[in-house]
Amino acid sequence: MRNYQKQWEVFMVYLRKTLKRFTCVVLAMMIAFAGIVIMPQEASAAAVTYPKNVRIGTDMYSQRISVNMVASGDIIKNIKVSSKDLVARRTSYYRGVDRKNTYEIITVYAKKEGKYKLSFDVFKANGKKRGKTRTITIHANNNHRFFRAVRVNNTNVVTDNSNTYSFRTTGKSATVRFGLAEGYKIRKIEVGKPNKKGVVNYKTVKNGQKTTFGTYAYSYYNKGTLGTSWTKDYWADTYFRITYTDSYSTTPKTRYETNYTISRPATRWYRRS
C-alpha cells in the first residue's frame, strides 16, 4: 500500500512539471503570434501618406497637395518635376503633437496641359532619409477640357472654340452621348426641361439615349406705375445633369455634378413674374 502511495506521489510531481512546461510553451507561442500580428499594423500606421494621382487645372490655377508625415520632425526635400512646364514648391507645414496632425504642403502649377511626374524625399529629424523616393502623377488639363466629346446625332459638337457646356440646335430631338476627359467616369445622367409652369423635373437616362428637347421658354410681363414691360426668350432649354467621379482627384470616390444645356427655338412659353 505504501509503495502504491509513493508511486502516486512521484506521478503527480511529474505531471505538475509537465503541465508547467506545456503552459510556458503555449504562452511563448501566444506572445510570438501577437508580435507577428501587431508589428505590421504598427508599421502600416507609421507611414507617409499622400495621393498617387492628382488632377489640376491650367490657366493660372494651382493645387495644394497634402503629405501626411510620420513624425513631427520629418521634412520634405529634393522636390523634382518631369518637365519645366510643371512648377512645384514646398509651401507650408503643420507640426502637430501627434503624427495624425503633422503634414506638409506641396503646391503645384502647370503651364500647359499634360501628364507630369512629381517626386520628393522625406527626411527624418536626424537627417536620414525615410524610405524610398515618393512619386505623384500630375494630370493637368484646362477646365474647358472636361468634355472630351458631346455627340449630338453622332456629330461631336465640342471644338476648341466652342462653349463646351451648351449647344444650340433647330432639331426637335437627338441622341446625345457624353465622353469625358481621361480619369472621369460618368455615374448617372439626368434630363430635365421646364413645363408650362416653369418647373424642371429630372429623369434618369442612358448615355447615348434619344432625347426629345423641351419646347417651353420663359416670358416676362410687368405692369407698373411707370409703364409696362414684356419680353420672352427665344430659346427653350433642355438640361443634362451629369454625376461623375474623378479617379485623379484627392477624393476619387466623391461624386460631383455638372450640367450641359441643349437649346432649341421655343414654341411655348411659361410666365415668369
Q: What is the DSSP string of 82-145?
A: SSTTEEEEEEEEE--SSGGG-EEEEEEEESSSEEEEEEEEEE-TTS-B-SSPEEEEEEE--GGG
Mean pLDDT of the chain: 84
pTM: 0.69
Q: Which amino acid is at 175?
A: T
29-33, 68-72, 95-99: the lowest-pLDDT one: 29-33
Statement: residue 267 has pLDDT above 90: yes
Q: How far is CA 9 from CA 3, 19, 20, 23, in A?
A: 10, 16, 17, 21
Q: Which amino acid is at 11?
A: F
What's the pLDDT tens digit per position in 190-207?
999 999 999 999 999 999
Q: What share of the chain is helix, strand, coil (3-state, %, to 5)?
A: 20, 50, 30
Q: Name residues whose C-beta falls within 8 Å of residue 245's C-beta, 6 or more positions apart in sequence.
A: 184, 185, 187, 252, 253, 254, 255, 256
Structural domains present in the chain: 53-142 (2.60.40.10), 146-272 (no CATH)
Q: Residue 210's pLDDT is what? A: 97
Biggest CA-to-CA distance, the chain: 130
What's the pLDDT tens digit per position in 100-159?
678 999 999 999 989 999 999 999 999 999 999 999 999 998 765 788 899 999 999 987
- Burial letters 8-29, b for 16+ CB under 10 A, else e: eeeeeeeeeeeeeeeeeeeeee
Bridge partners (DSSP) listed for residue 145: none
Give the confidence band of 222 by pLDDT, cuts at 50, 70, 90: confident
Mean pLDDT value across residues 59-68: 85
Q: Residue 229's pLDDT is what? A: 83
Q: Residue 99's pLDDT is what? A: 57
Statement: residue 19 has pLDDT above 90: no
Grid cell digits, residue 194: 421646364
Mean pLDDT value across residues 171-177: 97
25-29, 37-41, 134-138: the lowest-pLDDT one: 37-41
Statement: residue 45 has pLDDT above 50: no
Statement: residue 85 has pLDDT above 90: yes
Question: 39 or 5: whose pLDDT is higher?
Answer: 5
Give the confidence band of 220 by pLDDT, cuts at 50, 70, 90: confident
Q: Residue 80's pLDDT is what? A: 97
Give just the sign of the alpha carbon dihedral 21, 23, 25, 28: negative
